[in-house]
Protein backbone atom coordinates (compact mmCIF):
# COMPACT_ATOMS: atom_id res chain seq x y z
CA UNK A 1 0.00 0.00 0.00
CA UNK A 2 1.13 3.52 -0.75
CA UNK A 3 2.04 5.14 2.53
CA UNK A 4 2.30 8.80 3.40
CA UNK A 5 2.66 10.69 6.65
CA UNK A 6 -1.10 11.05 7.12
CA UNK A 7 -1.83 7.38 6.55
CA UNK A 8 1.01 6.45 8.88
CA UNK A 9 -0.21 8.85 11.58
CA UNK A 10 -3.76 7.51 11.27
CA UNK A 11 -2.62 3.91 11.58
CA UNK A 12 -0.41 4.72 14.60
CA UNK A 13 -3.05 6.64 16.51
CA UNK A 14 -6.39 5.07 15.45
CA UNK A 15 -6.58 3.29 18.80
CA UNK A 16 -5.23 6.21 20.90
CA UNK A 17 -8.61 7.11 22.45
CA UNK A 18 -10.58 4.07 23.64
CA UNK A 19 -14.28 4.35 22.89
CA UNK A 20 -13.65 6.68 19.97
CA UNK A 21 -13.43 6.19 16.20
CA UNK A 22 -10.81 8.02 14.19
CA UNK A 23 -12.53 9.95 11.41
CA UNK A 24 -9.65 11.79 9.78
CA UNK A 25 -5.94 12.59 9.88
CA UNK A 26 -5.61 16.03 8.32
CA UNK A 27 -2.82 18.55 7.79
CA UNK A 28 -2.84 21.33 10.33
CA UNK A 29 -0.54 24.13 11.48
CA UNK A 30 0.41 25.12 15.02
CA UNK A 31 0.78 28.89 15.61
CA UNK A 32 4.36 29.78 16.49
CA UNK A 33 6.45 32.86 17.20
CA UNK A 34 10.11 33.47 16.61
CA UNK A 35 11.48 35.19 19.72
CA UNK A 36 14.65 37.21 20.02
CA UNK A 37 15.51 36.89 23.71
CA UNK A 38 17.97 39.23 25.44
CA UNK A 39 19.90 37.15 27.98
CA UNK A 40 22.94 37.41 30.26
CA UNK A 41 25.29 34.51 29.63
CA UNK A 42 28.06 33.32 31.91
CA UNK A 43 30.98 32.08 29.81
CA UNK A 44 33.22 29.75 31.83
CA UNK A 45 36.88 29.02 31.31
CA UNK A 46 38.04 25.44 30.87
CA UNK A 47 39.86 25.47 34.24
CA UNK A 48 39.67 23.35 37.34
CA UNK A 49 39.13 24.98 40.70
CA UNK A 50 42.78 24.38 41.74
CA UNK A 51 44.06 26.08 38.57
CA UNK A 52 41.66 29.00 39.06
CA UNK A 53 42.86 29.70 42.60
CA UNK A 54 46.51 29.18 41.62
CA UNK A 55 46.19 32.00 39.07
CA UNK A 56 44.56 34.26 41.65
CA UNK A 57 47.37 33.48 44.14
CA UNK A 58 50.06 34.31 41.57
CA UNK A 59 48.30 37.58 40.80
CA UNK A 60 48.44 38.32 44.54
CA UNK A 61 52.23 37.93 44.69
CA UNK A 62 52.76 34.28 45.66
CA UNK A 63 55.50 32.90 43.39
CA UNK A 64 56.90 29.68 44.93
CA UNK A 65 55.40 26.22 44.94
CA UNK A 66 55.90 25.94 48.69
CA UNK A 67 54.00 29.17 49.42
CA UNK A 68 51.33 28.22 46.90
CA UNK A 69 50.77 24.90 48.63
CA UNK A 70 50.37 26.66 51.99
CA UNK A 71 47.95 29.18 50.45
CA UNK A 72 45.80 26.57 48.75
CA UNK A 73 45.92 24.06 51.58
CA UNK A 74 46.49 21.26 49.10
CA UNK A 75 48.84 18.29 49.22
CA UNK A 76 51.89 17.96 46.99
CA UNK A 77 50.07 15.94 44.34
CA UNK A 78 47.08 18.34 43.91
CA UNK A 79 49.34 21.39 43.84
CA UNK A 80 51.60 19.75 41.27
CA UNK A 81 48.64 18.89 39.02
CA UNK A 82 47.32 22.47 39.15
CA UNK A 83 50.75 23.91 38.24
CA UNK A 84 51.25 21.33 35.47
CA UNK A 85 47.87 22.18 33.92
CA UNK A 86 48.67 25.90 33.84
CA UNK A 87 52.09 25.24 32.35
CA UNK A 88 50.50 23.13 29.62
CA UNK A 89 47.97 25.90 28.88
CA UNK A 90 50.85 28.39 28.71
CA UNK A 91 49.32 30.54 31.42
CA UNK A 92 52.51 30.45 33.61
CA UNK A 93 56.22 29.74 33.43
CA UNK A 94 58.45 27.99 36.00
CA UNK A 95 62.01 28.67 34.88
CA UNK A 96 65.00 29.29 37.20
CA UNK A 97 66.27 32.91 37.20
CA UNK A 98 69.44 33.84 35.29
CA UNK A 99 71.44 34.18 38.53
CA UNK A 100 70.69 30.58 39.41
CA UNK A 101 68.55 31.44 42.44
CA UNK A 102 65.28 29.85 43.62
CA UNK A 103 62.90 28.76 40.81
CA UNK A 104 59.77 30.93 40.84
CA UNK A 105 56.31 30.86 39.25
CA UNK A 106 55.53 33.71 36.84
CA UNK A 107 52.35 34.67 35.01
CA UNK A 108 52.46 34.84 31.23
CA UNK A 109 50.26 37.43 29.41
CA UNK A 110 47.39 34.96 28.87
CA UNK A 111 47.54 33.95 32.51
CA UNK A 112 47.55 37.57 33.66
CA UNK A 113 44.36 38.24 31.65
CA UNK A 114 42.66 35.19 33.13
CA UNK A 115 43.87 35.99 36.65
CA UNK A 116 42.47 39.53 36.51
CA UNK A 117 38.98 38.07 36.06
CA UNK A 118 38.26 37.54 39.75
CA UNK A 119 35.71 34.75 39.07
CA UNK A 120 37.21 33.47 35.82
CA UNK A 121 33.65 33.73 34.51
CA UNK A 122 32.64 36.67 32.37
CA UNK A 123 28.89 37.43 32.36
CA UNK A 124 27.99 39.12 29.11
CA UNK A 125 24.74 40.26 27.41
CA UNK A 126 23.74 38.55 24.17
CA UNK A 127 20.65 37.58 22.17
CA UNK A 128 19.38 34.14 21.22
CA UNK A 129 16.63 33.13 18.72
CA UNK A 130 13.92 30.86 20.10
CA UNK A 131 10.80 29.28 18.54
CA UNK A 132 7.78 29.58 20.83
CA UNK A 133 4.67 27.37 20.56
CA UNK A 134 1.64 29.64 20.95
CA UNK A 135 -0.77 26.74 21.42
CA UNK A 136 0.95 25.14 24.42
CA UNK A 137 2.68 28.35 25.55
CA UNK A 138 6.11 26.74 25.64
CA UNK A 139 9.60 27.15 24.22
CA UNK A 140 10.35 24.47 21.62
CA UNK A 141 13.37 22.89 19.99
CA UNK A 142 11.90 23.64 16.52
CA UNK A 143 14.30 25.30 14.14
CA UNK A 144 13.44 28.46 12.28
CA UNK A 145 13.81 26.75 8.89
CA UNK A 146 11.12 24.18 9.84
CA UNK A 147 8.41 26.87 10.05
CA UNK A 148 5.97 28.19 7.48
CA UNK A 149 5.20 31.87 7.20
CA UNK A 150 1.58 32.82 7.85
CA UNK A 151 0.83 33.65 4.22
CA UNK A 152 2.12 30.23 3.13
CA UNK A 153 0.04 28.36 5.73
CA UNK A 154 -3.12 30.36 4.95
CA UNK A 155 -2.70 29.76 1.21
CA UNK A 156 -3.16 26.00 1.72
CA UNK A 157 -6.96 25.43 1.70
CA UNK A 158 -6.67 21.89 3.02
CA UNK A 159 -4.67 22.85 6.12
CA UNK A 160 -6.43 23.68 9.39
CA UNK A 161 -4.81 26.56 11.26
CA UNK A 162 -5.02 25.78 14.96
CA UNK A 163 -5.84 28.68 17.29
CA UNK A 164 -3.35 30.00 19.85
CA UNK A 165 -4.02 29.58 23.54
CA UNK A 166 -3.70 33.33 24.10
CA UNK A 167 -3.53 36.52 22.08
CA UNK A 168 -1.27 38.19 24.66
CA UNK A 169 2.34 38.92 23.65
CA UNK A 170 5.11 36.77 25.10
CA UNK A 171 6.87 38.40 28.07
CA UNK A 172 10.18 37.68 29.75
CA UNK A 173 8.32 36.29 32.80
CA UNK A 174 6.65 33.69 30.53
CA UNK A 175 10.03 32.11 29.78
CA UNK A 176 12.17 29.96 32.03
CA UNK A 177 15.97 29.75 32.04
CA UNK A 178 15.75 25.95 32.03
CA UNK A 179 13.62 25.95 28.88
CA UNK A 180 15.92 28.37 27.12
CA UNK A 181 19.00 26.39 28.12
CA UNK A 182 17.46 23.24 26.63
CA UNK A 183 17.37 24.93 23.21
CA UNK A 184 21.11 25.72 23.21
CA UNK A 185 23.40 23.78 20.92
CA UNK A 186 24.67 20.76 22.94
CA UNK A 187 28.25 21.78 22.18
CA UNK A 188 27.81 25.10 23.96
CA UNK A 189 25.71 24.00 26.96
CA UNK A 190 28.76 22.95 28.99
CA UNK A 191 30.58 26.18 28.24
CA UNK A 192 27.79 28.66 29.00
CA UNK A 193 25.17 29.25 31.65
CA UNK A 194 22.17 31.55 31.29
CA UNK A 195 21.95 33.93 34.24
CA UNK A 196 18.88 36.00 33.39
CA UNK A 197 16.41 37.31 30.79
CA UNK A 198 16.24 41.04 30.19
CA UNK A 199 13.85 41.33 27.23
CA UNK A 200 11.86 39.63 24.45
CA UNK A 201 11.04 40.65 20.89
CA UNK A 202 8.27 38.56 19.24
CA UNK A 203 7.45 37.85 15.59
CA UNK A 204 4.17 35.89 15.35
CA UNK A 205 4.21 35.40 11.60
CA UNK A 206 4.87 31.62 11.66
CA UNK A 207 3.30 28.15 11.85
CA UNK A 208 4.69 24.65 12.42
CA UNK A 209 3.24 21.78 10.37
CA UNK A 210 1.51 18.96 12.25
CA UNK A 211 -1.28 16.40 11.78
CA UNK A 212 -4.70 16.85 13.36
CA UNK A 213 -6.45 13.62 14.37
CA UNK A 214 -10.24 13.91 14.49
CA UNK A 215 -12.06 11.35 16.68
CA UNK A 216 -15.76 10.75 17.31
CA UNK A 217 -17.13 9.38 20.56
CA UNK A 218 -18.86 6.08 19.77
CA UNK A 219 -21.74 6.88 22.14
CA UNK A 220 -22.32 10.65 21.85
CA UNK A 221 -20.70 11.38 18.46
CA UNK A 222 -18.89 14.30 20.09
CA UNK A 223 -15.62 15.35 18.45
CA UNK A 224 -12.28 15.03 20.23
CA UNK A 225 -8.94 16.05 18.79
CA UNK A 226 -5.41 14.72 18.96
CA UNK A 227 -2.19 16.06 17.45
CA UNK A 228 0.75 14.28 15.85
CA UNK A 229 3.83 16.50 15.99
CA UNK A 230 6.95 15.37 14.15
CA UNK A 231 5.71 11.78 14.02
CA UNK A 232 4.66 11.43 17.68
CA UNK A 233 1.41 11.81 19.62
CA UNK A 234 1.65 15.09 21.54
CA UNK A 235 -0.26 15.03 24.81
CA UNK A 236 0.51 18.73 25.58
CA UNK A 237 -1.05 19.83 22.28
CA UNK A 238 -4.01 17.48 22.70
CA UNK A 239 -4.67 18.88 26.20
CA UNK A 240 -4.22 22.46 24.99
CA UNK A 241 -6.80 22.04 22.22
CA UNK A 242 -9.31 20.65 24.69
CA UNK A 243 -8.68 23.42 27.22
CA UNK A 244 -9.33 26.21 24.70
CA UNK A 245 -12.42 24.56 23.18
CA UNK A 246 -10.78 24.12 19.78
CA UNK A 247 -13.62 21.95 18.42
CA UNK A 248 -16.07 24.85 18.80
CA UNK A 249 -13.55 27.49 17.71
CA UNK A 250 -12.74 25.55 14.55
CA UNK A 251 -16.45 24.76 14.00
CA UNK A 252 -15.88 21.03 13.71
CA UNK A 253 -18.77 18.63 14.10
CA UNK A 254 -19.60 14.97 13.65
CA UNK A 255 -22.67 13.46 12.07
CA UNK A 256 -23.80 9.87 11.64
CA UNK A 257 -23.78 8.24 8.24
CA UNK A 258 -27.17 9.04 6.75
CA UNK A 259 -27.21 6.20 4.23
CA UNK A 260 -24.78 3.45 5.28
CA UNK A 261 -23.62 0.97 2.70
CA UNK A 262 -25.09 -2.52 2.69
CA UNK A 263 -22.61 -4.85 4.40
CA UNK A 264 -20.96 -7.60 2.40
CA UNK A 265 -22.93 -10.79 3.03
CA UNK A 266 -20.48 -13.31 1.59
CA UNK A 267 -19.10 -15.81 4.05
CA UNK A 268 -15.41 -15.88 4.89
CA UNK A 269 -12.96 -14.84 7.53
CA UNK A 270 -14.17 -11.44 8.72
CA UNK A 271 -12.34 -8.99 10.97
CA UNK A 272 -14.50 -6.54 12.91
CA UNK A 273 -13.59 -2.98 13.79
CA UNK A 274 -12.29 -4.07 17.20
CA UNK A 275 -10.21 -6.82 15.57
CA UNK A 276 -8.67 -4.43 13.04
CA UNK A 277 -7.81 -1.75 15.61
CA UNK A 278 -6.19 -4.33 17.88
CA UNK A 279 -4.12 -5.75 15.02
CA UNK A 280 -3.09 -2.31 13.81
CA UNK A 281 -1.97 -1.41 17.34
CA UNK A 282 0.05 -4.63 17.54
CA UNK A 283 1.47 -4.01 14.08
CA UNK A 284 3.11 -0.79 15.25
CA UNK A 285 5.42 -2.79 17.52
CA UNK A 286 8.79 -3.99 16.15
CA UNK A 287 7.54 -7.58 16.31
CA UNK A 288 4.17 -6.83 14.70
CA UNK A 289 4.66 -8.80 11.48
CA UNK A 290 2.11 -11.40 12.57
CA UNK A 291 -0.57 -8.74 13.04
CA UNK A 292 0.15 -7.28 9.61
CA UNK A 293 -0.09 -10.71 8.03
CA UNK A 294 -3.45 -11.30 9.71
CA UNK A 295 -4.77 -8.04 8.25
CA UNK A 296 -3.54 -8.89 4.76
CA UNK A 297 -5.00 -12.45 4.87
CA UNK A 298 -8.52 -11.55 6.04
CA UNK A 299 -11.13 -12.26 3.35
CA UNK A 300 -13.35 -9.42 4.61
CA UNK A 301 -12.32 -6.78 7.08
CA UNK A 302 -13.54 -3.48 8.46
CA UNK A 303 -11.82 -0.50 6.83
CA UNK A 304 -11.61 2.70 8.83
CA UNK A 305 -12.36 6.00 7.11
CA UNK A 306 -8.78 7.07 7.86
CA UNK A 307 -7.45 4.22 5.68
CA UNK A 308 -9.33 5.20 2.53
CA UNK A 309 -7.09 7.98 1.13
CA UNK A 310 -4.07 5.68 1.23
CA UNK A 311 -6.08 2.89 -0.40
CA UNK A 312 -7.03 5.25 -3.23
CA UNK A 313 -3.37 6.18 -3.78
CA UNK A 314 -2.36 2.52 -3.64
CA UNK A 315 -4.93 1.51 -6.24
CA UNK A 316 -3.59 4.13 -8.61
CA UNK A 317 -0.04 2.91 -8.07
CA UNK A 318 -0.50 -0.87 -8.04
CA UNK A 319 -3.41 -1.76 -10.36
CA UNK A 320 -2.19 -3.78 -13.35
CA UNK A 321 -5.39 -5.01 -15.07
CA UNK A 322 -8.30 -2.84 -14.02
CA UNK A 323 -9.45 -0.04 -11.75
CA UNK A 324 -13.04 1.02 -11.08
CA UNK A 325 -13.77 4.06 -8.89
CA UNK A 326 -17.39 4.93 -8.18
CA UNK A 327 -18.14 8.18 -6.32
CA UNK A 328 -21.20 10.47 -6.42
CA UNK A 329 -19.18 13.67 -6.82
CA UNK A 330 -15.79 14.76 -8.16
CA UNK A 331 -13.78 17.65 -6.72
CA UNK A 332 -10.49 19.21 -7.72
CA UNK A 333 -9.21 18.82 -4.15
CA UNK A 334 -8.97 15.08 -4.88
CA UNK A 335 -9.00 14.90 -8.68
CA UNK A 336 -6.19 17.41 -9.03
CA UNK A 337 -4.16 17.78 -12.20
CA UNK A 338 -1.26 15.63 -10.88
CA UNK A 339 -3.78 12.95 -9.84
CA UNK A 340 -5.50 13.01 -13.24
CA UNK A 341 -2.15 12.82 -15.03
CA UNK A 342 -1.29 9.71 -13.01
CA UNK A 343 -4.72 8.24 -13.83
CA UNK A 344 -4.23 8.94 -17.54
CA UNK A 345 -0.81 7.33 -17.50
CA UNK A 346 -2.26 4.23 -15.85
CA UNK A 347 -5.05 4.07 -18.46
CA UNK A 348 -2.57 3.47 -21.28
CA UNK A 349 -2.09 -0.09 -20.01
CA UNK A 350 -4.97 -0.69 -17.55
CA UNK A 351 -8.78 -0.54 -17.95
CA UNK A 352 -9.79 2.48 -15.81
CA UNK A 353 -13.43 3.47 -15.27
CA UNK A 354 -14.71 6.43 -13.25
CA UNK A 355 -18.42 6.29 -12.36
CA UNK A 356 -20.11 9.36 -10.92
CA UNK A 357 -23.49 11.07 -10.62
CA UNK A 358 -25.72 12.43 -7.87
CA UNK A 359 -28.97 14.33 -8.35
CA UNK A 360 -28.26 17.69 -9.99
CA UNK A 361 -24.50 17.17 -9.41
CA UNK A 362 -24.03 20.56 -7.75
CA UNK A 363 -21.18 19.10 -5.69
CA UNK A 364 -19.03 18.21 -8.72
CA UNK A 365 -16.38 20.67 -9.89
CA UNK A 366 -16.70 21.21 -13.62
CA UNK A 367 -12.96 21.91 -13.81
CA UNK A 368 -12.11 18.44 -12.49
CA UNK A 369 -14.76 16.77 -14.66
CA UNK A 370 -13.56 18.55 -17.82
CA UNK A 371 -9.98 17.54 -17.05
CA UNK A 372 -11.07 13.90 -16.68
CA UNK A 373 -12.96 14.09 -19.98
CA UNK A 374 -9.87 15.50 -21.67
CA UNK A 375 -7.74 12.68 -20.23
CA UNK A 376 -10.32 10.13 -21.43
CA UNK A 377 -9.95 11.56 -24.93
CA UNK A 378 -6.23 10.85 -24.88
CA UNK A 379 -5.89 7.58 -22.97
CA UNK A 380 -7.03 4.50 -24.88
CA UNK A 381 -8.45 2.63 -21.84
CA UNK A 382 -10.12 5.33 -19.73
CA UNK A 383 -13.89 5.91 -19.46
CA UNK A 384 -15.79 8.51 -17.42
CA UNK A 385 -19.39 7.36 -16.91
CA UNK A 386 -22.14 9.59 -15.53
CA UNK A 387 -25.11 7.69 -14.15
CA UNK A 388 -28.66 8.83 -13.49
CA UNK A 389 -28.82 7.58 -9.90
CA UNK A 390 -26.43 7.94 -7.01
CA UNK A 391 -23.91 5.11 -7.46
CA UNK A 392 -22.55 2.81 -4.83
CA UNK A 393 -19.27 4.10 -3.44
CA UNK A 394 -16.86 1.38 -4.47
CA UNK A 395 -13.27 0.88 -5.52
CA UNK A 396 -12.32 -2.28 -7.40
CA UNK A 397 -8.73 -3.18 -8.25
CA UNK A 398 -7.12 -6.39 -9.52
CA UNK A 399 -7.62 -8.68 -6.52
CA UNK A 400 -9.65 -6.71 -3.98
CA UNK A 401 -12.58 -4.34 -3.76
CA UNK A 402 -13.94 -1.89 -1.19
CA UNK A 403 -17.58 -1.02 -0.60
CA UNK A 404 -17.93 1.99 1.62
CA UNK A 405 -19.65 5.19 2.70
CA UNK A 406 -16.53 7.15 1.70
CA UNK A 407 -16.68 9.69 -1.12
CA UNK A 408 -13.63 8.56 -3.07
CA UNK A 409 -13.33 11.61 -5.32
CA UNK A 410 -14.76 14.38 -3.13
CA UNK A 411 -13.64 13.66 0.43
CA UNK A 412 -11.42 16.73 0.45
CA UNK A 413 -12.45 20.31 -0.14
CA UNK A 414 -15.66 20.37 1.92
CA UNK A 415 -15.65 23.67 3.85
CA UNK A 416 -18.39 22.52 6.23
CA UNK A 417 -15.94 20.54 8.42
CA UNK A 418 -18.61 17.94 9.17
CA UNK A 419 -17.01 14.56 9.78
CA UNK A 420 -18.81 11.26 9.34
CA UNK A 421 -17.72 7.72 10.24
CA UNK A 422 -17.54 6.79 6.55
CA UNK A 423 -16.06 3.36 7.09
CA UNK A 424 -16.18 0.49 4.64
CA UNK A 425 -15.36 -3.15 4.08
CA UNK A 426 -12.32 -4.47 2.27
CA UNK A 427 -12.82 -7.77 0.43
CA UNK A 428 -9.59 -9.58 -0.44
CA UNK A 429 -10.84 -12.51 -2.51
CA UNK A 430 -10.31 -12.92 -6.25
CA UNK A 431 -13.65 -14.58 -7.09
CA UNK A 432 -15.66 -12.07 -5.04
CA UNK A 433 -13.71 -9.19 -6.58
CA UNK A 434 -14.31 -10.43 -10.14
CA UNK A 435 -18.02 -10.75 -9.43
CA UNK A 436 -18.22 -7.30 -7.84
CA UNK A 437 -16.41 -5.69 -10.79
CA UNK A 438 -18.84 -7.19 -13.28
CA UNK A 439 -21.89 -6.28 -11.16
CA UNK A 440 -20.97 -2.66 -10.57
CA UNK A 441 -19.78 -1.96 -14.10
CA UNK A 442 -22.84 -3.64 -15.65
CA UNK A 443 -25.13 -1.53 -13.44
CA UNK A 444 -23.20 1.63 -14.33
CA UNK A 445 -23.60 0.94 -18.04
CA UNK A 446 -27.31 0.20 -17.60
CA UNK A 447 -27.87 3.55 -15.85
CA UNK A 448 -25.42 5.68 -17.85
CA UNK A 449 -26.53 9.06 -19.19
CA UNK A 450 -23.09 9.98 -20.55
CA UNK A 451 -19.96 8.03 -21.40
CA UNK A 452 -16.73 9.79 -22.34
CA UNK A 453 -13.80 7.68 -23.47
CA UNK A 454 -13.48 3.93 -23.89
CA UNK A 455 -15.14 1.33 -21.70
CA UNK A 456 -13.52 -2.10 -21.15
CA UNK A 457 -14.19 -4.30 -24.19
CA UNK A 458 -16.84 -6.47 -22.54
CA UNK A 459 -19.01 -3.48 -21.63
CA UNK A 460 -19.01 -1.56 -24.93
CA UNK A 461 -22.19 -1.32 -26.98
CA UNK A 462 -21.89 -4.16 -29.47
CA UNK A 463 -24.22 -6.55 -31.21
CA UNK A 464 -24.20 -10.20 -30.22
CA UNK A 465 -25.20 -12.20 -27.21
CA UNK A 466 -23.68 -11.49 -23.85
CA UNK A 467 -22.88 -7.84 -24.57
CA UNK A 468 -23.99 -5.07 -22.23
CA UNK A 469 -25.73 -2.11 -23.84
CA UNK A 470 -24.55 1.36 -22.92
CA UNK A 471 -27.36 3.94 -23.26
CA UNK A 472 -26.58 6.20 -26.20
CA UNK A 473 -28.35 8.75 -28.33
CA UNK A 474 -30.23 6.88 -31.04
CA UNK A 475 -28.76 9.17 -33.72
CA UNK A 476 -25.24 8.06 -32.83
CA UNK A 477 -23.67 5.00 -34.47
CA UNK A 478 -22.87 1.85 -32.57
CA UNK A 479 -19.66 2.25 -30.61
CA UNK A 480 -16.58 0.46 -31.81
CA UNK A 481 -14.77 1.34 -28.58
CA UNK A 482 -12.31 3.67 -30.33
CA UNK A 483 -14.24 6.94 -30.52
CA UNK A 484 -13.72 9.70 -27.93
CA UNK A 485 -16.98 11.62 -28.30
CA UNK A 486 -19.42 12.20 -25.43
CA UNK A 487 -22.73 10.40 -25.58
CA UNK A 488 -25.59 12.35 -24.07
CA UNK A 489 -28.86 10.40 -24.08
CA UNK A 490 -32.10 11.55 -22.56
CA UNK A 491 -32.24 10.88 -18.81
CA UNK A 492 -34.31 7.84 -17.87
CA UNK A 493 -37.83 8.58 -16.69
CA UNK A 494 -37.07 6.99 -13.34
CA UNK A 495 -34.45 9.64 -12.57
CA UNK A 496 -36.93 12.35 -13.56
CA UNK A 497 -39.55 10.86 -11.26
CA UNK A 498 -37.06 10.80 -8.39
CA UNK A 499 -36.15 14.46 -8.91
CA UNK A 500 -39.81 15.43 -9.08
CA UNK A 501 -40.50 13.47 -5.90
CA UNK A 502 -37.69 15.28 -4.10
CA UNK A 503 -39.10 18.66 -5.14
CA UNK A 504 -42.38 17.81 -3.41
CA UNK A 505 -40.65 17.15 -0.08
CA UNK A 506 -39.56 19.86 2.35
CA UNK A 507 -38.28 20.06 5.90
CA UNK A 508 -41.11 20.19 8.42
CA UNK A 509 -43.60 18.11 6.41
CA UNK A 510 -45.29 15.13 8.02
CA UNK A 511 -45.54 12.13 5.68
CA UNK A 512 -46.34 8.42 5.84
CA UNK A 513 -44.77 5.37 4.30
CA UNK A 514 -43.86 1.73 4.91
CA UNK A 515 -40.63 0.70 6.63
CA UNK A 516 -38.50 -0.83 3.89
CA UNK A 517 -35.56 -2.20 5.88
CA UNK A 518 -33.72 -1.91 9.20
CA UNK A 519 -30.02 -1.40 9.81
CA UNK A 520 -28.04 -0.86 13.02
CA UNK A 521 -28.05 2.85 12.14
CA UNK A 522 -31.80 3.32 11.69
CA UNK A 523 -34.84 2.51 9.59
CA UNK A 524 -35.45 3.25 5.90
CA UNK A 525 -38.97 4.39 4.96
CA UNK A 526 -40.26 4.35 1.38
CA UNK A 527 -41.80 7.66 0.28
CA UNK A 528 -42.90 6.89 -3.25
CA UNK A 529 -39.79 7.10 -5.46
CA UNK A 530 -37.50 8.07 -2.56
CA UNK A 531 -36.30 6.25 0.54
CA UNK A 532 -35.78 8.33 3.67
CA UNK A 533 -33.75 7.40 6.74
CA UNK A 534 -34.92 7.63 10.34
CA UNK A 535 -31.62 7.67 12.19
CA UNK A 536 -31.65 5.59 15.37
CA UNK A 537 -31.37 8.79 17.43
CA UNK A 538 -34.66 10.01 15.88
CA UNK A 539 -36.72 6.91 16.62
CA UNK A 540 -37.64 7.72 20.21
CA UNK A 541 -36.98 10.11 23.08
CA UNK A 542 -35.13 7.38 24.93
CA UNK A 543 -32.02 5.41 23.99
CA UNK A 544 -32.71 2.73 21.38
CA UNK A 545 -30.27 -0.16 20.95
CA UNK A 546 -31.74 -1.34 17.63
CA UNK A 547 -34.53 0.04 15.41
CA UNK A 548 -36.47 -3.23 15.73
CA UNK A 549 -37.36 -2.14 19.28
CA UNK A 550 -39.58 0.60 17.80
CA UNK A 551 -40.58 -0.32 14.22
CA UNK A 552 -40.87 -3.40 12.01
CA UNK A 553 -40.27 -3.98 8.30
CA UNK A 554 -43.52 -3.44 6.36
CA UNK A 555 -45.11 -1.31 9.09
CA UNK A 556 -46.57 2.01 7.89
CA UNK A 557 -45.28 4.89 9.98
CA UNK A 558 -45.87 8.62 10.18
CA UNK A 559 -42.66 10.64 10.14
CA UNK A 560 -41.53 14.24 9.97
CA UNK A 561 -38.99 15.39 7.37
CA UNK A 562 -35.90 16.93 8.97
CA UNK A 563 -33.84 17.63 5.88
CA UNK A 564 -33.96 17.11 2.11
CA UNK A 565 -30.57 16.91 0.35
CA UNK A 566 -31.45 17.13 -3.33
CA UNK A 567 -27.82 16.93 -4.46
CA UNK A 568 -27.32 13.53 -2.86
CA UNK A 569 -30.97 12.43 -3.03
CA UNK A 570 -31.15 11.91 0.71
CA UNK A 571 -34.07 12.54 3.02
CA UNK A 572 -33.60 12.59 6.80
CA UNK A 573 -36.67 11.70 8.88
CA UNK A 574 -37.77 11.72 12.51
CA UNK A 575 -40.32 9.39 14.05
CA UNK A 576 -40.30 11.05 17.46
CA UNK A 577 -40.85 14.51 15.95
CA UNK A 578 -43.93 13.25 14.09
CA UNK A 579 -45.21 11.63 17.27
CA UNK A 580 -44.83 14.82 19.30
CA UNK A 581 -46.52 16.89 16.56
CA UNK A 582 -49.70 14.81 16.52
CA UNK A 583 -51.86 17.90 16.20
CA UNK A 584 -50.59 18.51 12.65
CA UNK A 585 -52.44 16.75 9.80
CA UNK A 586 -50.43 14.13 7.96
CA UNK A 587 -49.49 14.74 4.36
CA UNK A 588 -49.12 11.72 2.12
CA UNK A 589 -45.81 11.20 0.38
CA UNK A 590 -45.42 11.01 -3.38
CA UNK A 591 -47.18 8.01 -4.87
CA UNK A 592 -45.63 7.49 -8.28
CA UNK A 593 -45.38 3.79 -9.10
CA UNK A 594 -41.81 2.64 -8.61
CA UNK A 595 -40.10 0.97 -11.53
CA UNK A 596 -37.84 -2.03 -10.84
CA UNK A 597 -34.42 -0.95 -9.55
CA UNK A 598 -31.57 -1.49 -11.98
CA UNK A 599 -28.81 -0.79 -9.50
CA UNK A 600 -28.21 -0.76 -5.78
CA UNK A 601 -28.33 2.76 -4.42
CA UNK A 602 -25.87 4.22 -1.98
CA UNK A 603 -27.24 4.45 1.54
pLDDT at 36: 94
Q: Does domain 46-119 have CATH number 3.30.70.100?
A: no
> Hey, which bits of 80-153 come out as E strands?
92-93, 106-107, 121-133, 138-139, 147-149
Q: Does domain 308-491 have CATH number 3.20.10.10?
A: no
Kindly report, residue by residue over 91-144, the tens digit of the pLDDT: 889 887 777 778 888 888 888 877 776 444 556 788 899 999 999 999 999 999
Q: Could you state, in order of their start, the residue ranges of all structural domains in the chain?
A: 5-40+124-254, 46-119, 308-491, 494-580
On whether the CB atoms of residues 92 and 58 are closer than 8 A, the answer is yes
One of 2.40.50.140, 1.10.357.10, 3.40.50.2000, 3.30.70.360 is the CATH number of 494-580, namely 2.40.50.140
pLDDT at 600: 31
Look up the pTM and report it: 0.60
pLDDT above 70: residue 2: no
Query: Residue 232's pLDDT band (boundaries 50, 70, 90)?
Result: very high
31 strand-pairing partners:
207
Q: How far is the CA of 541 from the CAs of 62, 73, 423, 550, in angstroms?
A: 96, 89, 27, 11
pLDDT above 60: residue 479: no
The average confidence (pLDDT) of the chain is 82
% the chain with pLDDT above 70: 83
Give the highest mean pLDDT range of 423-437, 560-574, 576-590: 423-437
On whether the CB atoms of residues 509 and 560 are closer than 8 A, the answer is yes
Output b/e per residue, 55-93; b: 16+ Cβ within 10 A.
bbbbeeebbebeebbebbebeeeebeebbebbeebebbe
Query: Residue 483's pLDDT band (boundaries 50, 70, 90)?
Result: very low
Kindly report, residue by residue over 26-61, the tens digit of the pLDDT: 899 999 999 999 988 876 556 677 888 888 888 888
Amino acid sequence: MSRDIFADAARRHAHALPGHTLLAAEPCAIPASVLTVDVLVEQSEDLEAGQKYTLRALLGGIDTVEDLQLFLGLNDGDTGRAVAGLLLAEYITYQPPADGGLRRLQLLPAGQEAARDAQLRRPMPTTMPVVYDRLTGAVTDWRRNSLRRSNQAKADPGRLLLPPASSMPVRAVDLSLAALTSTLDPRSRDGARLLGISGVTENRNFYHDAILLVFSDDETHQIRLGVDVDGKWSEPHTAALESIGAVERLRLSAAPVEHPHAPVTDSGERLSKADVLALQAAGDDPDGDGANRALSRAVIRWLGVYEHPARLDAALATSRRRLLISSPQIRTAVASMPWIRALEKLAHTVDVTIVWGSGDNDGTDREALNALHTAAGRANRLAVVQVATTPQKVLVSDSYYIITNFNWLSFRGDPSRIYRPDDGELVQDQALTDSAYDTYLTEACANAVEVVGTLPAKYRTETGSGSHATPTNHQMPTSSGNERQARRPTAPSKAERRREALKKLAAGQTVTGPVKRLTPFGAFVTLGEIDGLIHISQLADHRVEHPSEVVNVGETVTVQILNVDTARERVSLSLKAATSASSEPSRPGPESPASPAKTRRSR
